[in-house]
Amino acid sequence: MISPTQTMENTTEVEYISIYDKPKRGRGRPKTCKLSDEEKRQRNRDNATRYHNDNYEYCKMRQRLQKQTAYVSKKMKFRKPIIFWLSEKMNFHLNG
């Protein structure tokens, strides 16, 4: 077997590419929207306004139901301790 020396030429002239020279892959989802942040906010406002105008009756009904459930839950929050206290007092009178 022949050992390589400095006088022997390399027969395969392949350029060495370092793994550190490769461009790195971008992180996250690709940015496809070319609008600025303010334009995106304005577009969202316009969409919400258009949806509200197209579904006006439904939006009002939903708001009414949300207010009603909030009112009932707030009312029941104060009522529960009173009912519990009265039920214990009644049991005491019935058992006593």
SS (H, E, C) the chain: CCCCCCCCCCCCCCCCCCCCCCCCCCCCCCCCCCCCHHHHHHHHHHHHHHHHHHCHHHHHHHHHHHHHHHHHHHHHHHHHHHHHHHHHHHHHHHHC
Q: Is the pLDDT of residue 83 over 80?
A: no
Phi, psi of 36 (to 5 degrees): -80, 170
Reported pTM: 0.43
Q: Residue type for 67, please?
A: K
The string of pLDDT tens digits covering residues 34-45 is 999 999 999 999
Q: How far apart are CA 78 and CA 95, in angstroms?
A: 27
Q: Which residues, at least 6 apart from 59, have a Cβ–Cβ distance to it below 8 Å?
A: 52
Per domain, the residue ranges of the chain are: 37-95
The pLDDT assigned to 52 comes to 94
